[in-house]
């Protein structure tokens, strides 16, 4: 038979039980709104020191560029998981492939012989 864990310490506000008194003290911050750990960079408050330390990593990462800030050749997309040769293709490369394919179809419609292409 498995025994339930002993939790002799209880929150006076919500009656939630804890196994250690320091857990009750930290839990009480949810009721009081106390956030004693402040980010040294932006000042955001946290109830636990570890959460504040994890948060500070946000400030160390380089800012992400949006698609509108990138050139077409830098944007990589996934076309089809079933076609590994096209798994990571930049928009510029995709435009070039489409241009090549459309030119080959136009040429064949005009009666010109072109290589058959099975691009996509």
> How many Cα atoms sit within 13 Å of 95 on the Cβ side?
7
> What's the CATH code, domain 9-59?
3.30.160.60
Identify the band that residue 116 occupies on the pLDDT scale cut at 50, 70 and 90: very low
> In this predicted model, what pLDDT tens digit does every residue of 38-52 receive, in sequence order?
999 999 999 999 999
> How many Cα atoms sit within 13 Å of 89 on the Cβ side?
19
Region 8-16: mean pLDDT is 97
Region 89-104: mean pLDDT is 65
pTM of the model: 0.47
Taking the C-alpha atoms of residue 120 and residue 100, their distance in angstroms, rounded to an integer, is 12
> In this predicted model, what pLDDT tens digit does every residue of 15-65 receive, in sequence order?
999 999 999 999 999 999 999 999 999 999 999 999 999 999 988 877 776
> In this predicted model, what pLDDT tens digit does every residue of 69-92 receive, in sequence order?
665 555 555 455 555 555 566 667
Q: Provide the residue ranges of all domains of the chain, joining segments of one domain with +.
A: 9-59, 72-109
Output phi, psi for 18, to 5 deg: -135, 155
């Amino acid at each position: 038979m498995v025994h339930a864990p002993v939790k002799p310490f209880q929150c006076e506000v919500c009656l939630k039980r804890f196994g250690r008194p320091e857990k009750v003290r930290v839990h009480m911050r949810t009721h009081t709104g106390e956030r004693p750990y402040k980010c040294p960079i932006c000042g955001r408050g946290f109830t636990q020191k570890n959460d504040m330390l994890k948060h500070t990593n946000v400030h160390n990462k380089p800012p992400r560029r949006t698609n509108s800030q990138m050139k077409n050749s830098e944007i990589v997309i996934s076309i089809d998981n079933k076609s590994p040769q096209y798994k990571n293709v930049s928009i510029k490369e995709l435009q070039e492939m489409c241009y090549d394919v459309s030119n080959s179809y136009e040429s064949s419609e005009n009666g010109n012989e072109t290589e058959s292409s099975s691009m996509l």
